[in-house]
Amino acid sequence: MGKSVIEQWASPMAVLALFSLGQPQVSRAQTEAQRPAPSEGKAATDATGTAMCSVRVIHATATGTEFDARLEPLRPQLKGQAFQSFTNFALLKQHELSIAGGASQRFDVPGEHQGVLAYEGRADAGGKHRLRLRLEIQDGKAKLLSTKFVINDGGTMMQAGLKYDKGVLVLGITCRSAGQ
């Protein structure tokens, strides 16, 4: 039998998939040839306003079959192909963050790590309201992960890979714009 999706990734902190609630597609990076020219299709970016984000810290393991009821909104993503190797999902902590445009907020990640989520403003395009964010996971001064992503307003991004207590940690990050 082949390796699970998580086992196939070279980096333990690889971003597995980006999801928008109701649209469980894996997001893929564009190559230079696929990117629109600077003058065409450029999204409007606005660093004002505030993002209201919920960061769920989830422990996923291959032993047991429990599914924490507090994770029900994320069931389609957690029970999808990207996490098929895991059968047990427990919510360890939920952080509610209010992040002003251009600012960041810290949150605790098990294993004595720190998460940092920054709101870099709106990135509206094609009539869709979108948010541009940056996620870092730090171990002291070392950055274990640093990634930027754009999600639909109210969408969710899943990040997994940090090994923890015979399983992995999954961050389910849901953000919406406020005061705009």
More confident residue, 81 or 27: 81
What pLDDT score was predicted for residue 22?
36
Flag whether 34 is in a domain: no
Residue 161's domain spans which residues? Answer: 5-27+44-178
- Beta-carbon neighbour count of residue 152 at 10 Å? 17
The reply to whether 37 falls in a domain is no
Between strands 142-152 and 50-61, the pairing is unpaired
Query: Domain for residue 33, yes or no?
Result: no
Query: What is the spatial distance between Cα 73 and Cα 61, in angstroms, rounded to a whole number?
Result: 19
State the alpha helices, DSSP H only, in the chain. 5-8, 75-78
Please check whether residue 32 lies inside any domain of the structure.
no
pLDDT(117) > 60:
yes
Per-residue pLDDT of 83-116, as tens digits, reads 999 999 999 999 999 999 999 999 999 989 999 9
Tens digits of per-residue pLDDT, 153-163? 999 999 999 99
pLDDT of 43 above 70: no
Residue whose structure tokens are 């389910």: 172
Structure tokens at 138: 């730090």
> Per the domain annotation, does 155 fall within a domain?
yes
Q: Comparing 20-34, 76-90, 130-144, 158-172, which segment has the lowest mean pLDDT? A: 20-34
CA atoms within 13 A on the CB side of 158: 31
pLDDT value of residue 5? 37
Q: Judge whether residue 166 has pLDDT over 70.
A: yes
Q: What's the pLDDT score for residue 126?
A: 87
In a domain, 35, yes or no: no
Query: Quick check: 36 and 160 in contact, CB under 8 A?
Result: no
Its pTM stands at 0.74
138 assigned to some structural domain:
yes
Q: Chain centroid to CA 114: how far?
A: 15
Count structural domains, the chain.
1
Tokens in use for 55?
């960061």
- Across the chain, mean pLDDT equals 79
Residues 6+ apart with CB under 8 A from 12: 161, 162, 163
pLDDT tens across 142-154, in order?
Answer: 999 999 999 999 9
38 within some domain: no
